[in-house]
């Protein structure tokens, strides 16, 4: 996955690199032909996307395992609903305790399409 800038900016998966054109498949599953002479910069996403993290505080007195299960169900539901934006199944870190405060939290890791996932994670998942 790359972002190619020049006359325009396009993010997508490289389908083909030819003598005159580079061919990408963009977020909307469109095939985009970019003339090689117009390419100014290429930014590569070596992991096939970008990572977004959500840290979720577990309420005091709540069952941590039950909270983790509910958070997992919500994250996997979001992944199944927005599979074009969230590129892989969400991963969950261990339950951790914040130093000095004593409250517990868990981190959910999402792999998202560049430029599209921040709003999704910040709004829909947090709600």
User: Which H/E stretch holds residue 22?
Assistant: strand 21-26
Quick one: pLDDT band at residue 127, thresholds 50, 70, 90? confident
- Using DSSP's 3-state secondary structure scheme, residue 81 falls into helix
Bridge partner list, 14? 24
Q: Which domains does the chain have, with CATH numbers?
A: 2-44 (2.30.30.60), 50-125 (3.30.70)
The larger pLDDT score, comparing residue 126 to residue 110, is at 110
**Prediction pTM value:** 0.78
Check residue 8 and give left, alpha or beta (phi > 0: left; psi -120 to 50: alpha): beta
* Each residue's pLDDT tens digit, 18-59: 999 999 999 899 999 999 999 999 999 988 888 988 999 998
What backbone torsions phi and psi does residue 43 show, to the nearest 5 degrees?
-110, 125
């Amino acid at each position: 996955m790359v972002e190619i800038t020049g006359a325009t900016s396009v993010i997508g998966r490289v389908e083909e690199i030819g003598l005159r054109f580079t061919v990408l498949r963009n977020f909307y599953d469109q095939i985009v032909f970019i003339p090689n002479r117009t390419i100014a910069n290429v930014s590569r996403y070596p992991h096939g996307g970008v990572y977004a993290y959500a840290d979720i505080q577990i309420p005091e007195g709540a069952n941590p395992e039950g909270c983790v299960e509910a958070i997992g169900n919500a994250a996997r539901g979001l992944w199944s609903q927005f599979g074009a934006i969230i590129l892989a199944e969400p991963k969950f870190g261990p339950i951790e305790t914040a130093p000095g405060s004593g409250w517990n939290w868990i981190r959910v890791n999402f792999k998202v399409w560049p430029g599209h996932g921040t709003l999704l994670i910040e709004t829909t998942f947090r709600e």
